[in-house]
Chains A and B, each alone.
Chain A
Amino acid sequence: MTAVLNQPAPVQASRVMGLGVHRPDVIVDNEQICQWIDSSDEWIRKRTGIVTRHRARPEVSVVDMAEGAAREAIEQSGLTGADVDAVIVATVTHPYQTPSAAAELAHRLGTEAAIAYDISAACAGYCYGIGQADALVRAGAARHVLVVGVEKLSDFIDDHERSMSFLLGDGAGAALVGPSEETGISPSLMGSNGEKWETVSMDGSLLPLRDALAEARRTQDASRLLDAEERLWPTLRQDGPTVFRWAVWEMAKVAQQTLDAAGISAEDLVAFVPHQANIRIIDEMVKQLDLPEHVAVGRDIVDAGNTSAASIPLAMHRLVHENPELSGGLALQIGFGAGLVYGAQVIRLP
């Protein structure tokens, strides 16, 4: 007789139980940025909406920031680290190929043999994580899933570069996803558009740096390592106009499809929290989606800059704290970025 395999008992629904954030304490204003690039406070505000961005001190790691955000999200959910059985960290700035930031974070939080892994989906990483957390909980594979979007982008920028470095900040945002009697997370729309792989990317891999180090040791000539033009430490670049066009008009379609998949209309939302890439992308998306006046829009970018995977939970946490009446309402969140990749869902705000 053929053996029959057991399946975990599925769970009806999941929801976001709590949110948490970590905002680094170093604040970089536009005047400081203008020491590095030929620009002005007015130009940066007008073209990006950014007034300041937070950046982490050198000794503060990605996992340090993630831990701060995670502890708040767990506490807000009325849980402890021991209750968390899966940890997903969305980041592109954890400076180790392996092991994952999630494994160290799971240990620090006192979880017991939790599932732990990182996601590399840049600015869509948090929404990918929420989509996976929802699936893990409903499949019965995990009961309480911690999702953290965290970035220390300041380690991977070139201050003198004009396409995106001046936009970027550091930070972390976390959500605890757990079982629920009512649906608290809609179907997730997630996807990629890899033909645009180069439109937001590092300007190279780490292998040329390894080779240059080996050559310097062999020849006892470090001149290549010292030459700033060599750009041996890879940093971020983007083709801003191409990304803008994709982010607004293609992502507005994905946002609408997400509402359709959830079975709701924009009228039903209390909040819209897009990735905080540029205030002009946010404003144009709001226009394209024809959002009603009552929908609160996340505009944390003004103070926090673009924090990639951290931007949505940071903006959402702020909206809920500044407007507690939003709690319990529906929020559309959409992340999009390097890959290009995107992810979106509607969640009920904790």
Chain B
Amino acid sequence: MADKNEILAGLAEIVNEETGLETEEVQLGKSFTEDLDIDSISMMTIVVNAEEKFGVKIPDEEVKNLSTVGDAVDFIANAEG
């Protein structure tokens, strides 16, 4: 099971690939929409890639609750656990 720092690093790589944002920009407290300017369609691509990378399921209805990078890291960590 990956620890939260590893999940954050992995998520940052996925965000970088989808949006071109520097990985350092992807921090726990950042909001996907407000701070990182990621729209709902890009968010779905990130979610599907995260599912594949971390071997977890992130249902459609859960995606709306992932407002910050920290929310996503916590969800993945709990889903993995």
Contact = CB atoms under 8 A, between A and B. Distances in A.
Contacts of B63: 241
B40 A245 contact: no
Given A47-B39, A240-B40, A241-B40, A284 B60 contact: no
B45 interface: yes
Contacts of A32: none
B60 A244 contact: no
A261 B43 CA distance: 33
Interface in A20-56: 47
Contacts, number: 25
Contacts of A248: 45, 48
A280 interface: yes
A280 B60 contact: no
Interface of B: 39-41, 43-45, 47-48, 60, 63
B60 A245 contact: yes
Interface residues of A, number: 12
25 contacts: A47-B39, A47-B41, A239-B60, A240-B40, A240-B41, A241-B40, A241-B41, A241-B43, A241-B44, A241-B60, A241-B63, A242-B60, A244-B40, A244-B41, A244-B44, A245-B44, A245-B47, A245-B48, A245-B60, A248-B45, A248-B48, A249-B48, A278-B41, A280-B41, A284-B45
Nearest to B60: A242
A48 to B, nearest CB: 9
> Which residue, of B44, B45, B63, has the highest number of chain A Cβ atoms within 10 A?
B44
Contacts of A47: 39, 41
Interface in A193-251: 239-242, 244-245, 248-249
User: Counting chain B CB atoms within 10 Å of each CB, which of A239, A241, A278, A284 scores highest?
Assistant: A241
A311 B48 CA distance: 27
